[in-house]
């Protein structure tokens, strides 16, 4: 078989030659097209950019550098070059703030620190500046801006254009800009700041003339002072002006009513009626006063209803009393009082017809809703025309219904001083004369001259509502009070308890008005003597939870509504009243959930070798104005236990409970351990959980889910903290031995099946020492917090604060006045919005600081703060004002219910510029 050769794959010269020619022509045309579409030569852009580099430079590397710059400048309307990200940070922030979002793709930033030959590029850019650059190491001299191919300058030049107002025109030629949110600030490194809800700016002008005109009127600012209502016309006008209602509802401080662990309806209740010298003393000031010895009340665990009473038509409880009662689970009521000849005229006007009675009732309900209190005691001690008595019934029914519509916890209590005939008649029990009134209200307050038989009769007359009958007890012992009142007031309370009715204690301020002077002792000692007698005859209510933390939560920094200073995170700051660092103050808005009552007068614990004294002290504090001081001597390895709280906090396998407490040791080596008494269910077969607190003891990382068990013994378990944090005294604070304390906060997390359905029933402190040879012991307990089941936290909003994560925003100044050449006065207001950070805790109050000196101007539990004197010197003649405005920066820091401050990203700032025009 013959083989056949395959055909050759090569082309003949005749065919190959035309193909080669075609390829050559194509390559030439492609190169020509690329040359046509190339960017302009570097010399063109550099010429337009006023380059100092010769266009005839033959250095290939410098040509490549110029080409690199020219390429970026040609592709973008705005180009920013910087030696590093840090050097270009301010310029980038400025461009991001002013350039419209849909034009930002036209802007580029080149970080020369991350590109090849960055230093050579930087040298070329520096050569573009027309002036000498003495500070090439300064960041602002190493950021360079090009607009539409034209070199504008470095950032120092850009700042000058911004101050002169020329930068907007420069940028507007290439991109759409908005400079409305930019404010010049020559004192900041950036030279500007951007307005936002968290960054505000305002020009302020002295309003002294307007303020002087306002001072001639008799109106009282409800944001600064609470006043009663004395005439019907004022009542009818109250809460009707929409602007006033909106301002008050937005700015008045509000505190949620704390939930009690158990709130049985069928139980004797205690009503306390406050009648301190007619009321409205220093307690009327919303931001507190300098009256350190003002009357205060901390027996809230005994009280179901607290009435703020005075001899006025409408007694509105001051904000401090509402807050103190609500934080401790007690409803706070105002009073409607008509007495004597003036009362007869008022009652004739209010009860003139059914429509008038219902209108007045609606106004009263609106006032209660506006100020955030829980109802009224209605006290009519004058004759009412018999024909008008049905209008009294209509008034009471309408008031009860209107209050309940906005507040299900509201109460109306009637003082039994008018018979069904309209005649003035004090009734010492529930009887035929008082039954018609009792049917229209939530409770009946009887007169004081009753006997145990009257109490038994009242209970038997209406068994279903016997706990709504409050047998009156006058602490002063007037009107034939059973037992004679005063230190024997417990006699009448015991009789009411045994009869199965409730009791109303009138004027317990007797201890402050009289007893302390008669006995020549401190008010706290007199108060303790009186209420110890009450406690031996009346049982306390069940413990309350945190008003904002929700069920199974507790927070207390042991504040009792006064202090010798204001402490923030353990550092003494500026007092709330007057701005004097050493000023004493009083403000019931500051009152926390209270510890056991014995700690106020002090309790001494003795063991075989030890004796320590524990008392609520104002010598130091962690937050506010008080702490628990425990001091004494301890021998050997002896220990002492001090009880802090009675609680009823249920633990669950499905929820982790975080417990934190904060201590300081004036005497080194003193150790205070938090102790939880835990019961299965509600029985008292308890065991103790001891939370170790020595600094540095725990190796557990902060991210630990649960606290590790580090030891156990019969009836006792020892746990280590999951994190520890120290709060040293700042350098700006005057340091002495007391103020130089280091506060240490430790946190623990417990949960799981071991804790399921167990209850913490008591919280206390175990005192011990690091070295047995030590004798002296002294420790401060500054704060205790138990963060329970957040999932069952109340979502009810009362006033401006809801139980949701919030932070302050949109700060603004009102009523700005220059007090003198060195200080100003103003009112700062703000709003609240959901927090951006991953916080789950609602805000309880806001701290307002003067940024420059880090001075605390005050604390607010609402959305406003009046600052009476803030240091801000007036610009002297000859100083530049328009080109370099004088600024005052305020910082508003929200603090959560458990004492956690907002992060830096959540702090609201307000910059003020005084307008001299």
Average pLDDT score over residue span 675-681: 84
pLDDT score recorded for residue 869: 86
Strand partners, 459: none
Is the pTM here over 0.85, yes or no? no
pLDDT in tens, 137-175: 576 789 999 999 899 999 989 988 998 889 998 898 888
Q: Residue 673 and residue 682: Cα distance in Å, rounded?
A: 24
Q: What is the CATH number of the domain that holds 869?
A: 2.60.40.10
| Domain co-membership, 395 together with 489 | yes
| Domain co-membership, 65 together with 157 | yes
**Over the chain, what is the mean pLDDT?**
83
Q: Are strands 908-914 and 887-896 parallel, antiparallel or unpaired?
A: antiparallel
- Tokens of residue 663, six digits: 């201590």
pLDDT score recorded for residue 308: 98
| Domain co-membership, 373 together with 495 | yes
Q: Do the Cβ atoms of 805 and 895 come closer than 8 Å?
A: no
pLDDT in tens, 775-805: 899 999 999 999 886 533 333 333 333 345 5
Which of 762, 789, 816 finishes a domain?
789
| Domain co-membership, 334 together with 361 | yes
Cβ partners under 8 Å of residue 548, min gap 6: 256, 801, 803, 841, 842, 844, 896, 897
Which of 508, 535, 562 finishes a domain?
535
In terms of Cα–Cα distance, which of 642, 586, 647 is closest to 297?
Answer: 586
Domain that includes residue 899, residue range: 195-254+799-917
| Domain co-membership, 339 together with 411 | yes
Flag whether 135 is in a domain: yes
Which of 129, 145, 175 finishes a domain?
175
Q: What is the CATH number of the domain that holds 361?
A: 3.20.20.80
Residue 33 predicted with pLDDT over 70: no
Q: What is the CATH number of the domain that holds 686?
A: 2.60.120
Average pLDDT score over residue span 233-256: 73
Residue 37 predicted with pLDDT over 60: no
H or E stretch at 797: none
| Domain co-membership, 417 together with 502 | yes
Highest mean pLDDT among 168-182, 288-302, 693-707, 828-842: 288-302
pLDDT in tens, 422-461: 999 999 999 999 999 999 999 999 999 999 999 999 999 9
CA distances from 633 to 579, 641, 655, 765, 855 (A): 38, 13, 40, 16, 38
Cβ partners under 8 Å of residue 812, min gap 6: 200, 202, 828, 829, 830, 910
| Domain co-membership, 754 together with 848 | no
Flag whether 593 is in a domain: no
| Domain co-membership, 494 together with 374 | yes
Q: Residue 87 and residue 103: Cα distance in Å, rounded?
A: 23
pLDDT score recorded for residue 878: 54
Flag whether 565 is in a domain: no
| Domain co-membership, 250 together with 281 | no
Flag whether 384 is in a domain: yes
Flag whether 529 is in a domain: yes
Flag whether 568 is in a domain: no
Average pLDDT score over residue span 476-495: 95
In this predicted model, which residue has the larger pLDDT, 116 or 879?
116
Q: What is the CATH number of the domain that holds 82?
A: 3.40.30.10
| Domain co-membership, 833 together with 743 | no
Residue 516 predicted with pLDDT over 80: yes
Q: Residue 124 and residue 740: Cα distance in Å, rounded?
A: 55
- Tokens of residue 554, six digits: 């507790």
| Domain co-membership, 855 together with 877 | yes
Highest mean pLDDT among 521-535, 707-721, 895-909: 521-535
Cβ partners under 8 Å of residue 416, min gap 6: 426, 427, 428, 430, 433, 434, 437, 444, 445, 446, 447
| Domain co-membership, 721 together with 837 | no
Q: How many CA atoms lie within 13 A of 26 on its CB side?
A: 6
Residue 271 predicted with pLDDT over 80: yes
Q: Do the Cβ atoms of 740 and 729 come closer than 8 Å?
A: yes
Flag whether 571 is in a domain: no
Flag whether 86 is in a domain: yes
Q: Which of 41-45, 600-604, 651-655, 744-748 comes out lowest in average pLDDT?
A: 41-45
Cβ partners under 8 Å of residue 734, min gap 6: 572, 581
CA distances from 194 to 102, 126, 181, 887, 899 (A): 19, 29, 6, 15, 30
- How many domains does the chain divide into? 4
């Amino acid at each position: 078989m013959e083989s056949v050769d395959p055909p050759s794959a090569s082309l003949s010269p005749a065919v190959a030659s035309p193909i080669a020619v075609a390829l050559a022509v194509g390559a030439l045309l492609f190169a020509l097209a690329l040359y046509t579409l190339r960017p302009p030569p570097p010399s063109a852009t550099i010429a337009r950019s006023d380059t100092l580099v010769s266009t005839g430079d033959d250095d290939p590397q410098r040509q490549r550098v110029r080409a690199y710059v020219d390429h970026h400048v040609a592709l973008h309307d705005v180009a920013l070059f910087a030696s590093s990200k840090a050097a270009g940070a301010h310029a980038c922030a400025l461009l991001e703030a002013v350039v419209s979002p849909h034009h930002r793709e036209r802007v580029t930033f080149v970080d020369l620190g991350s590109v090849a030959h960055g230093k050579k590029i930087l040298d070329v850019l520096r050569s573009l500046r027309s002036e000498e650059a003495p500070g090439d190491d300064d960041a602002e001299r190493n950021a360079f801006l090009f607009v539409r191919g034209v070199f504008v300058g470095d950032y120092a030049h850009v700042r000058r254009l911004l101050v002169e107002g020329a930068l907007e025109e420069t940028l507007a030629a290439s991109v759409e800009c908005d400079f409305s949110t930019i404010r010049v600030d020559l004192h900041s490194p950036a030279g500007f700041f951007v307005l936002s809800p968290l960054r505000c700016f305002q020009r302020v002008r002295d309003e002294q003339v307007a303020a002087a005109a306002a001072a001639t009127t008799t109106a009282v600012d409800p944001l600064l002072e609470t006043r009663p209502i004395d005439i019907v016309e004022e009542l009818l006008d109250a809460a009707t002006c929409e602007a006033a209602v909106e301002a008050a509802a937005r700015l008045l401080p509000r505190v949620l009513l704390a939930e009690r662990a158990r709130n049985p309806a069928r139980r004797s209740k205690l009503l306390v009626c406050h009648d301190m010298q007619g009321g409205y003393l220093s307690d009327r000031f919303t931001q507190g006063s300098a009256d350190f010895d003002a009357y205060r009340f901390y027996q809230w665990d005994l009280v179901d209803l607290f009435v703020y009473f005075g001899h006025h038509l409408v007694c509105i409880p001051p904000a401090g009393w509402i807050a103190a009662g609500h934080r401790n689970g007690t409803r706070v009521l105002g009073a409607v009082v008509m007495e004597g000849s003036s009362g007869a005229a008022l009652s004739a006007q209010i009860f003139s017809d059914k429509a008038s009675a219902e209108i007045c009732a609606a106004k009263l309900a609106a006032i209660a809703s506006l100020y955030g209190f829980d109802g009224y005691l209605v006290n009519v001690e004058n004759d009412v025309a018999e024909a008008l008595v049905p209008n009294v019934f209509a008034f009471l029914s309408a008031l009860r219904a209107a209050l309940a519509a906005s507040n299900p916890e509201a109460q109306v209590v009637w003082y039994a001083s008018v018979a069904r005939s309209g005649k003035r008649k004090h009734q010492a029990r529930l009887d035929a004369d008082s039954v018609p009134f009792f049917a229209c209200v939530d409770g009946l307050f009887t007169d004081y001259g009753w006997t145990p038989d009257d109490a038994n009769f009242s209970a038997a007359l209406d068994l279903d509502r016997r706990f709504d009958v409050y047998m009156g007890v006058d602490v002063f012992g007037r009107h034939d009070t059973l037992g004679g009142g005063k230190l024997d007031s417990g006699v009448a309370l015991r009789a009411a308890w045994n009869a199965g009715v409730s009791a109303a204690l009138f004027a317990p301020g007797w201890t402050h008005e009289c007893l302390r002077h008669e006995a020549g002792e401190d008010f706290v000692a007199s108060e303790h003597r009186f209420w110890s007698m009450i406690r031996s005859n009346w049982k306390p209510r069940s413990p309350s939870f945190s008003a904002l933390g929700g069920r199974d939560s507790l927070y207390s920094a042991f504040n009792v509504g006064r202090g010798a200073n204001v402490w923030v995170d353990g550092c003494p700051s500026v007092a709330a009243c007057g701005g004097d660092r050493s000023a004493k103050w009083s403000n019931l808005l500051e009152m926390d959930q209270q510890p056991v009552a014995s700690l106020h007068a002090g309790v001494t614990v003795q063991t075989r070798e030890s004796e320590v004294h524990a008392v609520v002290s104002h010598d130091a504090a962690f937050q506010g104005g008080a702490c628990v001081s425990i001091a004494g001597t301890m021998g050997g390895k002896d220990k002492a236990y001090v009880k802090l709280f009675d609680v009823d906090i249920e633990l669950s396998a499905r929820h982790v409970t975080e417990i934190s407490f904060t201590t300081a040791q004036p005497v080194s080596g003193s150790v205070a351990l938090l102790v939880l008494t835990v019961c299965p269910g509600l029985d008292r077969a308890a065991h103790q959980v001891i939370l170790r607190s020595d600094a540095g003891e725990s190796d557990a990382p902060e991210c630990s889910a649960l606290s590790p068990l580090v030891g156990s013994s019969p009836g006792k378990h020892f746990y280590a903290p999951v994190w520890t944090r120290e709060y040293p005294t700042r350098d700006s604070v005057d340091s002495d031995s007391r103020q130089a304390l280091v506060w240490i906060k430790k946190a623990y997390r417990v949960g799981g099946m071991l804790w399921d359905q167990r209850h913490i029933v008591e919280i206390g402190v175990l005192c011990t020492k690091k070295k047995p040879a030590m004798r002296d012991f002294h420790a401060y307990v500054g704060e205790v917090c138990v963060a329970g089941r957040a999932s069952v936290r109340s979502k009810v909003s009362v006033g401006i604060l809801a139980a949701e994560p919030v932070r302050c925003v949109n700060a603004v100044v009102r009523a700005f006045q220059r007090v003198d050449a060195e200080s100003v006065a103003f009112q700062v207001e703000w709003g609240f919005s959901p927090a951006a950070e991953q916080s789950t805790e609602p805000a309880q109050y806001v701290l307002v600081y003067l940024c420059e000196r880090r001075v605390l101007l005050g604390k607010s539990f609402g959305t406003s703060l009046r600052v009476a004197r803030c240091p801000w010197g007036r610009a002297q003649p000859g100083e530049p004002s328009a080109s370099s405005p004088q600024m005052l920066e305020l910082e508003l820091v929200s603090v959560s219910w458990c004492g956690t401050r907002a992060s830096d990203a959540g702090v609201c700032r307000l910059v003020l510029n005084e307008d001299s025009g």
